[in-house]
Structure 1
Amino acid sequence: MIKKTRLLIGFVVMVVSHLSMAEISPSASALKKTLMGIEQYQAKFHQKVTDAAGNVVQEATGILTLARPNQLRWETHSPNESLLIADGSAVWYIDPFAEQVTILDQANAVENNPVILLTSNDDSTWEKFTVQTAMGESNSYIIEPVEPDGQVHRLIVTFKDNKLVFLSTTDAQEQISELAFSEIKMNTPVAPTLFSAEFDDNYIVDDQR
């Protein structure tokens, strides 16, 4: 359970941090321009995770909600219910089945993850990543860390009509996680309470900040 929790936090949390702009390439400039148009984002997702041999090891469905700056709500509905919230300073992973909450410092949790670019515009971080347009796909971008010492080695994001429709990550074990989004709502105000962690008093709290 602990390993599964850390993997989920490692994947989802990277979706919510910073971009940087040092010597930005044309591809990076185009990507940032597209991302700057996304202030709020909500969509249903279908996630498929495959191992290095191409075997499907996990599938999940749920709802992803993003808001600038640095806020995320990741609700998994199946196969098991869970909730991950990044509120801008901390990441809260709430597991109703285990009645447990894990809390991490958000800045430390997303360090060197290339998916940390969807809800912020911190110029000092861009220099840590390279961005290139996927071959033959002008609306798809490949993002990789300059120093691949983190858990995630590659991110691919795909847009249609300036909406994020697909996201893929490859980790250090060559495990690939693909997310396809549907029923997308963009720049529709979301309630601030969605990014507040609430749970029963009987939950076990593991605060790692």
Structure 2
Amino acid sequence: MKKACLLLFSSMLLSPLTVQAEENSQTALKNLLAQMTHYSASFQQTVSDEAGDIVHEATGTLTMTRPDKLRWETAYPDETLLIADGDAVWNIDTFVEQVTIIDQTQAIADNPVILLTSNDPAVWNDFTVSKASDDIYTVTPKNGEGQIQSLTMRFNDDILASLEMLDAQSQTSNLVFSSINVSDEPDSSLFTVTIPDTYMIDDQR
């Protein structure tokens, strides 16, 4: 009984400290991301299963600008394009000539990737932030029901250097960035979509 009471008392003392640590980590990450008004880079992606075996590799480019705009383009092994224009997410498959359109709010619900481009401070309320060091932060959705279970951001000299995402299928996607540009504003045309007449459109908005 005495031991149980001591454990309970210890947890009561630890809880405010834990909350404070989370708040400090969130503030530090907010400050880092707030400086990232624009971001473009090449990436190398490696996807591993729960056993650590590589199941997919890809290369391409990632371009982001605030607020809420993102362009993800793969060059290998297939040419694909995903554009978030602030209102909708356009998934463009050039091989089969098909475009899938999803409402952006629905597409990024509970996805910590939203923190990379959102200017809305309220979105942070949906996530918990922990800090392994001044350069490594892990963001976890509070409800745990989204496709992305956690997102780990690694910084180098306050610039985003890599992302590691754990998904609901226990697969880990690791993206390492190179040729990073945080100075030049991307051309707005990168976040607009023109669909050829021959493409099939699946509009799910």
Range into which the TM-score falls when normalised by the shorter chain: 0.7 to 0.9
Aligned mate of 1:112, from 110, 121, 132: 110
Equivalent-residue separation in structure 1 for 2:160 and 2:149 (angstroms) = 20
Partner of 1:123: 121
Structure showing greater relative contact order (alpha-carbon pairs closer than 8 Å, 6 or more residues apart): 1
Q: Which deviations, in whole Å up to 9, do the C-alpha atoms of 1:63-116 show, x marking residues without a partner?
A: 100000000011100000011000000000111100000000000000011221
Aligned: 1:156 with 2:152: yes
Q: Which deviations, in whole Å up to 9, do the C-alpha atoms of 1:126-185 show, x marking residues without a partner?
A: 121110102xx3211011011101111111001111111000110111100000000000
Q: Which runs of 5+ in 2 are unaligned?
A: 1-19
Q: Which runs of 5+ in 1 are unaligned?
A: 1-22
Q: Normalization by structure 2: what TM-score?
A: 0.88
How is 1:1-209 mapped onto 2 (pairs within 5 angstroms)? 25-134=23-132, 137-209=133-205
Residue 117 of structure 1 aligns to a residue in which SS?
helix
RMSD: 1.1
Farther-moved stretch of structure 1 (188-197 vs 121-130)? 121-130
The size of the alignment, in residue pairs, is 185
Task: Specify which structure has the higher proportion of helix.
Answer: 2
Residue 28 of structure 2 aligns to a residue in which SS?
helix
Say whether the 8 Å CA contact 1:38–1:187 is kept in structure 2: no
